[in-house]
């Protein structure tokens, strides 16, 4: 049973772990208690969503010793079927001291003081657990490793790209279903159901964020989830959803119209389309993320709609568990990051006109390859699709 459902070879995981250890040593950190489920999967191969209610940890030192997974006893078999790691320890929820267990394993690996890396920005370590863990680890000091452990995930290996291509195919099934199903008279929930059913039927794993879908008077809601609202003739409808293969997400983003829309809706869509195209044109290896977003905003400023551009232009995408699918790459003004070949990311032009009850979002998932920017899935830079 051990490793029967592993997504990657052990050698790939060990190479990733070696990179993480090198980053730890460069920061003067001797030990790591990784709690984020995406890290447990990326480095340890352990595939489980349950960090949201049952703390889990991948514990290792910056030297070459073997790592340990600590998890709830209910989930031991999940580690055996997916992870290459041999040392799997279990605790009993409601009875055992979980922070104390994590700390005891770290001390087995030589922890006495110094710094311990933990992803303190992860939802998997709520404030109460963080406080208890800090107390259990004292006099060692917890330092934030959210970015340190997340950044290696930004450059995808050939094996990861294969999963992303598969995920994109699942999302394409959802996009095709949206085109077949959208019509006046259907509810937003029914449309989302057709999208999700098509992706699951095609073979998709579960996604980390609910399907986002809204139309007509609700279209200004950028993160709106579908309701029992009936789609009307001429409604602008936008959707954002992901196909998933081996926890790798590929997100489709597309705006369509259920019949001929208003002239205003068409005009706003064209501004968004121009914004998307301008941002894509600025992407190349070495490009600064702030410059890319600035380029995407030029058509928006020209149209006098900069106030409506309230969403970052893009973000990294790959391994994900609920409740988010974002990686540390932020394609936005502010972060000091540059684009590199091998990155995969979501790009979206979003314009929100709340006072007009109108919003459009257009984009998808892209990869920066040796051939340039390649769209894996999404609506992309196309004329408004009227169904």
Q: How confident is the model at residue 230 (pLDDT cuts 50, 70, 90)?
A: very high
Q: How confident is the model at residue 3 (pLDDT cuts 50, 70, 90)?
A: confident
**Mean residue pLDDT across the chain:** 97
Q: pLDDT per residue over 114-168, tens digit each?
A: 999 999 999 999 999 999 999 999 999 999 999 999 999 999 999 999 999 999 9
Q: What is the distance between the alpha carbons of residues 286 and 277, in angstroms, rounded to a whole number? A: 19
pLDDT the model gives residue 323: 95
Q: pLDDT per residue over 107-128, tens digit each?
A: 999 999 999 999 999 999 999 9
Q: What is the DSSP string of 3-36?
A: TTT-SS-HHHHHHHHHHHHHHHHHTT--EEEE--
Residue 55 pLDDT > 90, yes or no? Answer: yes
pLDDT the model gives residue 64: 87
Dihedral sign computed on CA atoms, order 332, 337, 341, 342: negative
Domains in the chain: ranges and CATH: 10-152 (3.40.350.10), 155-386 (3.90.230.10)
The angle formed by the CA atoms of residues 247, 253 and 259, to the nearest 5 degrees, is 140
pLDDT the model gives residue 284: 98
pTM of the model: 0.96
Contact 283, 368 (CB under 8 A): yes
- Radius of gyration in angstroms for the set of CA atoms belonging to the chain, rounded to a whole number: 22
Q: Compute CA distances 170 → 41, 362, 365, whole Å.
A: 21, 19, 13
Q: What is the distance between the alpha carbons of residues 73 and 378, in angstroms, rounded to a whole number? A: 41
Give me the helices (H) in 203-288, please: 263-281
Compute the average pLDDT of residues 219-244: 98
pLDDT the model gives residue 52: 86
Helix 188-202 × helix 158-181 angle, to 10° = 140
Q: Percent helix, strand, coil in the chain (nearest 5)?
A: 40, 25, 35
Residue 4 pLDDT > 80, yes or no? Answer: yes
Q: What percent of the chain has pLDDT over 70?
A: 100
- In the chain, how many H helices and how many E strands? 10, 15
pLDDT the model gives residue 308: 97
Work out the end-to-end distance of the chain between its first and last CA atoms, rounded to an integer number of angstroms. Answer: 49
Residue 169 pLDDT > 80, yes or no? Answer: yes
Residue 1 pLDDT > 70, yes or no? Answer: no
Q: What is the distance between the alpha carbons of residues 226 and 218, in angstroms, rounded to a whole number? A: 9
Compute the average pLDDT of residues 357-369: 98
Contact 230, 217 (CB under 8 A): no
């Amino acid at each position: 049973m051990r490793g029967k459902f592993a997504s990657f070879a052990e050698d790939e995981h060990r190479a990733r772990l070696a990179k993480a250890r090198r980053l730890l040593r460069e920061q003067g950190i001797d030990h790591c208690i990784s709690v984020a489920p995406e890290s447990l999967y990326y480095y340890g191969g352990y595939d489980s969503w349950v960090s949201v209610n049952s703390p889990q940890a991948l514990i290792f030192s910056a030297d070459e010793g073997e790592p340990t997974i600590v998890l709830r006893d209910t989930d031991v078999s999940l580690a055996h079927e997916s992870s290459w790691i041999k040392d799997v320890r279990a605790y009993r929820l409601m009875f055992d001291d979980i922070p104390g267990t994590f700390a005891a394993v770290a001390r087995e690996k030589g922890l006495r003081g110094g710094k311990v890396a933990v992803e303190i920005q992860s939802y998997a370590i709520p404030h109460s657990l963080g406080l208890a863990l800090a107390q259990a680890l004292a006099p060692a000091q917890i330092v934030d490793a959210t970015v340190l452990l997340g950044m290696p995930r930004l450059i995808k290996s050939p094996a990861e790209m294969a999963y992303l291509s598969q995920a994109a195919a699942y999302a394409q099934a959802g996009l095709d279903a949206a085109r077949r199903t959208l019509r006046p008279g259907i509810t937003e929930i029914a449309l989302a159901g057709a999208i999700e059913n098509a992706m699951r039927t095609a073979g998709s794993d579960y996604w980390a964020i609910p399907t986002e879908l809204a139309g007509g008077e609700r279209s200004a809601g950028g993160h709106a989830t579908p309701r029992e609202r009936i789609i009307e003739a001429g409604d602008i409808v936008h959707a954002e959803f992901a196909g998933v293969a081996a926890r790798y997400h590929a997100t489709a983003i597309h705006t369509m119209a259920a019949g001929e829309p208003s002239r205003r809706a068409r005009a706003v869509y064209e501004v968004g389309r121009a914004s998307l195209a301008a941002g894509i044109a600025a992407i190349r290896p070495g490009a600064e993320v702030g410059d890319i977003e600035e380029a995407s905003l030029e058509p928006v400023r020209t149209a006098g709609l900069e106030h409506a551009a309230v969403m970052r232009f893009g973000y990294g995408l790959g391994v994900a568990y609920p409740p988010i699918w974002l990686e540390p790459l932020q394609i936005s003004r502010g972060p000091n990051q540059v684009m590199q070949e091998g990155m995969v990311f979501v790009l979206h032009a979003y314009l929100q006109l709340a006072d007009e009850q109108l919003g459009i979002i257009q984009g998808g998932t892209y990869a920066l390859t040796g051939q340039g920017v390649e769209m894996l899935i999404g609506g992309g830079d196309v004329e408004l699709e009227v169904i």
